[in-house]
Amino acid sequence: MADPIPDHDSVSYHRKSFEGPDTVLSYIDFGGGGPPLVALHGHMNEGLFARRLAERFAREYRVIALDQRGHGESGRPASFDNDRYVADALALLDHLGIDHAVLLGHSLGGVVAYRLAARRPERVRALFIEDIGAAVDDDLGFAAEWPRRMPTREALIAALGRLGPAFAYSMRQYEDGWGLPFVPEDMIRSQQKLNGSHWDDWLATGCPALLLHGMRSSCLSYGQAEEMARSRPNTKLVHLDAGHTIHFDAPDRYLEEIEQFLTETGTHS
């Protein structure tokens, strides 16, 4: 197990783990008062992506962020079927004795969140879905060209090009050099399993939902975002001047929209 780069701007946290359905799952408990808010990251990310979210809502929520299978400090499983991701998130709720929670998900995590809600609607108070559609068709093949290890953090940031700064916080120093907390080939396989139509799951529930769309995103089109909001009750859509990772590209607006939605729907209480 390697240590991530310290982030001096983030809140303190405790990293814990438990035996999931078929692999060890790591999660970050940021603490905080109030009901639980469970954050689910996207491909090639980890639970620490929620550190600013936790800082903003520490008084209102207990923010918990799962390292999804094959990411961060969680185990590398045999299967990346999306149903397994959903089972992992449900297992986290059960492990922590959480009857129902607000779910926030980015990309892969967004699909996991609304698919979990479709299967266990009584466990989900509200949904925050960051830039992912009800139909998914993406390709992470470019990650196969990334180096597994580099001699320094700076060299790894440079090797990842325009994506380097966004991944910098999660880079780790391993025995053989600096790397990222996932295996690129696993991410490619997982994305292939995620691709397809999930419209039935998106439309299965009517709990309050905020859909955040990055106007410069290549993962979710303007038209699909509009259709998702129009076809599902209690869904608010916000278009933002950002790419796919809104929480990184426009962090202040991202947090403001979440806070406003919580206030509008009474989910703060």
Block means of pLDDT (10 residues each) for the chain, 269 residues, are: 47 92 97 93 96 93 97 97 98 97 98 98 98 97 95 97 92 96 96 98 98 97 98 98 96 97 80
Task: Provide the residue ranges of all domains of the chain, joining segments of one domain with +.
Answer: 14-136+199-265
- What pTM value is reported for the model? 0.94
> How far apart (Å, rounded) are the C-alpha atoms in residues 211 and 258?
10
How is residue 56 written in tokens?
């903003």
Question: Which pLDDT value is given to residue 9?
Answer: 53
Question: Which pLDDT value is given to residue 12?
Answer: 83
| CATH class for the region spanning 14-136+199-265 | alpha beta
Question: Which pLDDT value is given to residue 134?
Answer: 98
> How far apart (Å, rounded) are the C-alpha atoms in residues 105 and 47?
11
Question: Which pLDDT value is given to residue 50?
Answer: 96
Question: Which pLDDT value is given to residue 3?
Answer: 43
The residue written with tokens 């950002």 in the block is 242
How is residue 151 written in tokens?
């001699």
> How far apart (Å, rounded) are the C-alpha atoms in residues 96 and 34?
15
The residue written with tokens 């769309």 in the block is 213
CA 141 vs. chain centroid, Å, equals 20
> How far apart (Å, rounded) are the C-alpha atoms in residues 46 and 68?
7
